[in-house]
Structure 1
Amino acid sequence: MPNLAESGASHLPEIASIVAFIREADKLKAVTRKVKPLGLDRYENSAEHSWQLALLALTLRDYAAEPVRIDHVIRMLLVHDVGEIDTGDTMAFVEGGWAERKQDELTAVRRIFGLLPEERAGELLALWQEFEHGDTPESRFANAVDRVMPVLLNLANGGQSWKENGISYERVLRRIEAQIAAGSPLLWEYVRGELTRARALGLFGA
């Protein structure tokens, strides 16, 4: 494998394009979501959400439904929401219109990843598409982690976003059960029990 660090100035344009991509990715810090970080009176942003998912996946890896390459899972989670730079965040519990939103997000990630050198752009686009398709052990686990994190925050903060947005217990189950159970059955067993307790405590919005 060539040592690019020693190959001279010919790679400077590639480094410049990577820097341009990272500057564009910084905009993800300005994309707000509907749930608040614990103990803070503001909404989380999509960049910190992606970081938290990567950490959650790393620590939950032994509970995936199938053996997974955790480095691959983390790569997917780091890029899965990049398209929200253009489209904004859509609350996980919104019903309807997903096909149109995902098409818009695909257009967005093609633009954003297109700032990178061609080979790297293709790599990140493939990761994004794998996450969206959900047909590999890694993508199923990544989707389970993505679905569960807003639930864990709501369970810990008194149902904040569920109450603010009128989200019912039944609606939460419809949105998360299949994906969490497919990616990590033991995680779903845990969450199902916590949701039952949350319902008894009146933490849902409808």
Structure 2
Amino acid sequence: MEMLKFLTLVGKLKRTKRSGWVANGIKDPESVSDHMYRMSIMALVLNDSSGKLNRDHCIKLSLVHDLAECIVGDITPHDNVPQEEKHRREVGAMQHLGTLVDMDVAKELHDLFMEYENQDTPESRFVKDLDRFDMVLQAHHYEEEVNDHKKLEEFFQSVKGKFTTDVVKDLFEKLSENRNLKQCPRENSL
């Protein structure tokens, strides 16, 4: 077990800036760990309408879903890396991380990562919704910072129709309404 190596690698996520924001010229963009942190908080405080999701499991999925990026970096669709290749690299990174911790932890990390990748449980689909929602919420914050409410429209377009859980659909609708109000402010009457 090489816990110091593991923790050092994971610590790189604190300095790994999210590629989509960098590509869009965002000044001081969030890191991957910033993103994972807010997703974990969302998993803690939100639940789907059924109330049947395992909240602790959702928090774990949120913490692990981008863990491989401490080795492979934040690969986005704009990097022109085929999805299969991205997956292969990330699985390899998770396998390497697993060699640095004890076997039980390695198995749990691997299983969480694969569950998120496969999207075959209600928890993994909920966390995928949180992942997408955190992205557009962050985009909205960046747009507000520069007072340009169309600057990051591509991020909003990329998630339309993809949310599967009611609570996140509702949050996205509220965010979109808020954003639209700022794009088209009502004219004040005389």
Whether 2:31 is the aligned partner of 1:50: answer no
Whether 2:81 is the aligned partner of 1:84: answer no
- The Cα of 1:126 is off from its aligned counterpart by 0.3
- The Cα of 1:45 is off from its aligned counterpart by 0.7
The 5 Å alignment of 1:147-162 reads 147-158=132-143
Query: Percent identity between the aligned chains?
Result: 23
Whether 2:146 is the aligned partner of 1:146: answer no
- The Cα of 1:32 is off from its aligned counterpart by 0.7
Question: Separation in 2 of the partners of 1:99 and 1:43?
Answer: 27
- Could you say which residue in structure 2 is the equivalent of 1:189? 170
Q: Over residues 2-48 of structure 1, what are the superposed CA-to-partner deviations in whole Å (9 max), with x where a residue is unaligned? A: xxxxxxxxxxxx5xx33332222111112111348xxx940111112
RMSD: 3.2
Which contiguous aligned blocks of 4+ residues in structure 1 show a shift greater than 6 angstroms?
92-96
2:161 is aligned, of 141, 152, 177, to 177
Contact 1:35 1:150 in 2 (8 A): no
Give structure 2 stretches of 5+ with no counterpart: 185-190
Contact 1:76 1:127 in 2 (8 A): yes
TM-score (norm 2): 0.77
Q: Over residues 77-129 of structure 1, what are the superposed CA-to-partner deviations in whole Å (9 max), with x where a residue is unaligned? A: 11111111122113478787222212111111111122111121011100010
Question: Separation in 1 of the partners of 2:181 and 2:80?
Answer: 24
- Could you say which residue in structure 1 is the equivalent of 2:188? none
TM-score (norm 1): 0.72
- Could you say which residue in structure 2 is the equivalent of 1:10? none
Question: Separation in 2 of the partners of 1:92 and 1:103?
Answer: 15
Contact 1:93 1:172 in 2 (8 A): no
Contact 1:35 1:153 in 2 (8 A): no
1:60 is aligned, of 46, 49, 55, to 46
